[in-house]
Structure 1
Amino acid sequence: MPKQYNFFEFDEVTSTNDVCLSEFQKSTKPTVVVANSQTKGRGRNAKNWDSPKGNISYSLCFKSPSIDPGITVKIGLITSIAVFDIFNKDVLLKWPNDLIFNNKKVGGILVESQNQNNEIIITIGIGINLNIDKKHHEWNDIGLIDITKKTKDSFIEMLTLKLLKLKNLDRKNWSKEWDEKCMHIGKRVTLGDKQESFLFEGITDSGQAKLKKKSGDIELFNESSLKVDGLY
C-alpha cells in the first residue's frame, strides 16, 4: 500500500471506525483499517450494522480544517465508481448513504467527526457485501465469486486514493454524476417521519436532496432517512 497513509488489515474487529480512529491518534498520517468482518459495526443513527464474512469493512481516518456538508453523498459516488472500475459491477446509489445492487441494499456509509485542536478528525466507514455465505440469506451482495486478495487490495487502494482527493469533487458537475448513479430519480419517496410524499428530483452541489411537492414547489433537505416506494 502507498506510504501516504498507514494501513492495517484484520480478519475480525469490533468496529473498523473505532480501530481506525484509535490507530490514527498514534500517528499524523491518514489511516486505513480493513476487516473481513465486524462484531460491533454500526450505521447511521446508531443502528447496528452486522458484517458477516464476505463483506469489506473499511474505514479511513484523517484530519481536515472543515467538513463538507455533502461528504456522505460524495463518498457514495466515489465508492460506486471504484466498485465499477475494479469489480465491473454497477452499484447504484440511494440518498444519502446506501449502496444498491439489483434493487437491494448491499452496503452503506457512515461518517463520524470530532473536533481536536481547531481541526476536525473525520472517520469514514464503508461496508460492502461482496459475496455473503448463503446461510446469511437475509443479506444481499454484489455476487463476486472467487475474488482474489490482489483484486480486493486494488479496490482498497483505489478507494483510498479517491477518498483522499475528496476536494476534487468540488467541481460543479459532481452532482450530475451522482444523479446518473441514483436509482430513484423521478420516483416517489417519503422523507423521515413526514407523511407527505415527494418526487425525487436529484441533488444540489452541496448534496441536498431536491424533492418536488404536489404543488410543484421544490424543497431542499439535508441528510435524513429516505424511503423509496417499492424498495426495501
Structure 2
Amino acid sequence: MNDLPPGWRHVALGAVDSTQDEAWRLAKNGAPGRTVLTATAQRAGRGRRGRDWESSPGNLHLSILLRAIEHSPHELSFVGGLAVADALDAHTDGVALKWPNDVLVGGRKIAGILLEAEPPVVVLGIGINLARSPNGTSYPATDLRGSVTPQQLLPTLVRAVDARLEEWRTLGFAYVREAWLERAWRLGAKVEIDEKESGRFAGIDSDGALLLDPGLRRVVAGSVRYRQ
C-alpha cells in the first residue's frame, strides 16, 4: 500500500488467529518498527484482560509493530485512541474516548485498543467495527454499517497514528492527556470501577490513571461503568 506515510510498511494477511500474534512473530524475526499488519478476519482475536474480540470480515483488524519508543509504553493506549477517533471523524459524529482504551460513537463501543509490550518492542492492536458489531457484549457496541471499508479507512488511520506519535514524541504525554480529555466520554459523570470503587469521573492524571472524586483517588486498571 503506497499511500501510507514515509517509513511505514503494510503486511496484508488473510484469516489468522490474531494479528497480535503475527506481529510478535514478525518482531522476533527482525521486522522493523512501523510495520502494520491487517487481516481479513481473526479466529482468536483478543482484547484487554484476555477478553475475546469478535473479528468479523468487513471490520478492520490490525496490529502495529513499534520499536524503541521514547516514552512509557502504556501511554500508547491514549495515543492510539486519539488516532482512531481522528480517523473516524470523517465518517461519523459523536466520537468519544472511554478510559482506558475504548472508542465510542453515540455512547456505544465502536473500537478497542490492545497494548502489549516487551521493550524495546511494543505492539498496538486496534479493532474497529465497520460493517457489523457483536451482540450481547458487556458494554453496548455499534458500527458504521459498512459506510467505509477496511481498505479505505486504513491509510487514514495510519496517517492519524503517525501524526499522534509525532505529537507524543515532541510534546510529551501532557499534550496527549489534554487532547484525550477533550474527547473524554461523560467527564464528571458517576462511574463504577469493577463493582469495587465508585465516584465521579474527574479525569486522568499525568500517568494516565483515572481520577475519582471525592478525593481524586487514582485507579490504574479496571473497567468503567457509567451510572445514571
Task: Settle same-fold status: TM greater than 0.5.
Answer: yes
Contact kept, 8 Å, 1:70 with 1:208, in 2: the verdict is: no
Report if the CA contact (8 A) 1:24-1:31 is conserved. no
Change (3 A) 1:163 1:31: farther
Deviation at 1:39, TM superposition (A): 0.8
Q: Post-superposition shift, 1:220?
A: 1.9
Q: Which runs of 5+ in 2 are unaligned?
A: none
After TM superposition, what 4+ stretches of structure 1 lie above 6 angstroms from structure 2?
Answer: none
Aligned-residue offset at 1:8: 0.8
SS at match of 2:174: coil
* Deviation (angstroms), 1:88: 4.5
Q: Is the 8 A contact 1:186 1:199 kept in 2?
A: yes
Contact persistence 1:98–1:107 (CA under 8 A): yes
**1:123 aligned partner, one-letter code:** V
CA-to-partner distance for each residue in 1:147-198, whole Å, 9 max, x for gaps? 256632432431442354342451534322212211121111112341x421
Task: Please tell me whether residue 211 in structure 1 is matched to residue 216 in structure 2.
Answer: no
2:74 matches 1:73: no
120-129 or 202-211: bigger deviation: 202-211
How far apart, in 2, do the equivalents of 1:185 and 1:43 lie? 24
Alignment TM-score, normalising by the size of structure 2: 0.83
Tell me the distance in 1 between the aligned counterparts of 2:15 and 2:54: 12
Aligned to 1:197: 198
Identity fraction in percent: 25
1:155 match: 156
Distance in 1, matches of 2:15 and 2:189, equals: 39
1:176 matched to 2:160? The reply is no
Distance 1:29 1:73 in 2: 19
Which of these residues, 16, 21, 25, is aligned with residue 22 of structure 1?
Answer: 25
Greater Cα shift, 7-16 or 38-47: 7-16
For 2:20, give the aligned amino acid: N
AA at the equivalent of 1:32: V
For 2:56, the equivalent position in structure 1 comes to: 52
Q: Any unmatched runs of 5+ in structure 1?
A: none
State the TM-score, normalized to the length of structure 1. 0.82
CA distance in 2, matches of 1:164, 1:131: 27
Task: Give 3-state SS (helix, strand or coil) of 1:172's partner.
Answer: helix
